[in-house]
Chains A and B, each alone.
Chain A
Amino acid sequence: MSATLFRTSTAARSALRAGAATRAASAASTSFVRGKATLPDLPYDYGALEPTISGKIMELHHKNHHQTYVNSFNTATEQLQAAESKQDIAAQIALQPVINFHGGGHINHTLFWENLAPSKNGGGGEPAGQLKTAIETSYGSLSSFKTKFNAALAGIQGSGWAWLVKDTETGQVQIRTYANQDPVVGKYKPLLGIDAWEHAYYLQYQNRKAEYFSAVWDVVNWKTVEKRL
């Protein structure tokens, strides 16, 4: 995952060449060069998930929302480096919520794009192999899992995500919801994430979010989810 989230060499250099970040240039002249987060390319076209998710939503979501998390995360990490070099502990602590939010936004969206796919590229259908077994062990059947997952999505009070995660202590899979951009960390490993922020569906579904939640299964990339298990 870190390979797609950070591109240390070429991308950072070309960003600097493009004059995208003068502050990064001055940071780079200090003792070490830190990898900057960059927006990953979508593995499919903006319109490829239609009619489940419109091309307009995908484009705004990727080019604007995800890009803003990337930019703000980079700004926050520069500020963190400055605070670290000054040994300013209070400033480092004060930056944690911003890093969590924007870093979480970057990680979550990156995982989200990857765990979706157009149906011609394997989106939809059913999980196979160990993943199928794990879901059936925890939830009985795929359809009862989907029902519970959709209920979890619908129960989010505000912005957030629902995830199928693997508990690395027990090896079992379970559904968990996370507020805002809180990332899946600690003993849980993210397998499948669905963005339940209003920006993820509003242009197409408005307040009918339950329709988005039930439609999104048509573009879930189970192969990617299985690889994460």
Chain B
Amino acid sequence: MASAKYSLPPLPYAYDALEPSISAQIMTLHHTKHHQTYINNLNATLASQATATSKQDIVASLHLQNALNFNAGGHINHTLFWENLVPASSPNAQPTAAPKLAAALTAHFGSLEKFQEKFTAMLLGLKGSGWGWLVQDTETGNLELTTSRDQDIVPVGKKPILGVDFWEHAYYLQYLNDKASYAKGIWKITNWKVLEARYESGYEGVFGPLAGLRSSI
């Protein structure tokens, strides 16, 4: 069957470019091992599913759905994550790179600092592996904070604007159990320019070449 359908996107910066917020060792393992494994398992699951479909084996197909959600979610979430980070020295790491979003966040949360505090508190409240998200409701246009469990993607109708990986592999080699310091460090390397582009983009546009994959899970 058609295999190796998806491949690991290159990082938009060097592995050590996010130091000291995220170490080069973490970035290397996270990208070349963890993200790659989601992609490998996604491609394997898609190949199995194609076989099941060709045999009209609905039961086998249903059993594969869980693995598809997990691994496609892992690929989509990590892709969004790498894109919404940037070296701290970049002008895009400043909220001034996102004038419209910053104004909307200030209007909604009172100030950017309050938004950041709420986002960090939400991350620290996760019970197990998962992600913290700033999303925009596509119907109301409202900005909302939400979490997703394991590798679940954000629900349909919520456009992801900022995603932060809060699995232990995302910070443990550097921060150990001090996950609060990792969470706070993210704000130094947030790519506000990308956040602004997602805020202004349509729903499908945020997912780029993975829009089709998103709609399949």
Contacts and interface: CB of A to CB of B under 8 A. Distances in A.
A68 B60 CA distance: 42
A157 B176 CA distance: 21
B81 interface: no
B127 A180 contact: yes
B173 A202 contact: yes
B212 interface: no
B29 interface: yes
A206 B177 contact: no
Contact-size category for B = 20 to 34
Interface in B58-114: 66, 70
A56 to B, nearest CB: 9
A157 B150 contact: yes
A191 to B, nearest CB: 23
A203 interface: yes
The residue in B37, B66, B128 that gathers the most chain A C-beta atoms within 10 A of its C-beta is B128
Interface in B19-73: 29, 33-34, 37, 66, 70
Contact of B127 (A68, A97, A206, A207): A97
Interface string B170-200: 0011001100000000000000000000000
B117 interface: no
Contacts of B214: none
A60 interface: yes
The residue in A181, A197, A202 that gathers the most chain B C-beta atoms within 10 A of its C-beta is A202
A158 interface: yes
Contact of B168 (A157, A180, A197): A197
Interface residues of A, number: 20
B129 interface: yes
B203 interface: no
A157 B29 contact: no
A181 B128 CA distance: 8
A101 interface: yes
Contacts of A60: 176-177
Given A157-B70, A207-B29, A198 B172 contact: yes
Contacts of A64: 176-177
A101 B129 CA distance: 13
B27 to A, nearest CB: 13
B172 A158 contact: no
Interface in A144-169: 157-160
Contacts of B172: 198-199, 202-203
A134 to B, nearest CB: 29
Contact of B151 (A68, A157, A160, A197): A157
Contacts of A7: none
A204 to B, nearest CB: 11
A64 B132 CA distance: 23
B19 to A, nearest CB: 18
26 contacts: A60-B176, A64-B176, A68-B177, A158-B129, A158-B149, A158-B150, A158-B151, A159-B128, A159-B167, A159-B168, A181-B128, A197-B128, A198-B129, A198-B167, A198-B168, A199-B168, A199-B177, A202-B168, A202-B169, A202-B173, A203-B173, A206-B33, A206-B173, A207-B33, A207-B34, A207-B169
Interface of A: 60, 64-65, 68, 97, 101, 157-160, 179-181, 197-199, 202-203, 206-207
Interface of B: 29, 33-34, 37, 66, 70, 127-130, 149-151, 167-169, 172-173, 176-177
- Which 5 pairs, one residue from A and one from B, show the smallest C-beta to C-beta distance? A180-B128, A158-B150, A198-B168, A158-B129, A159-B128
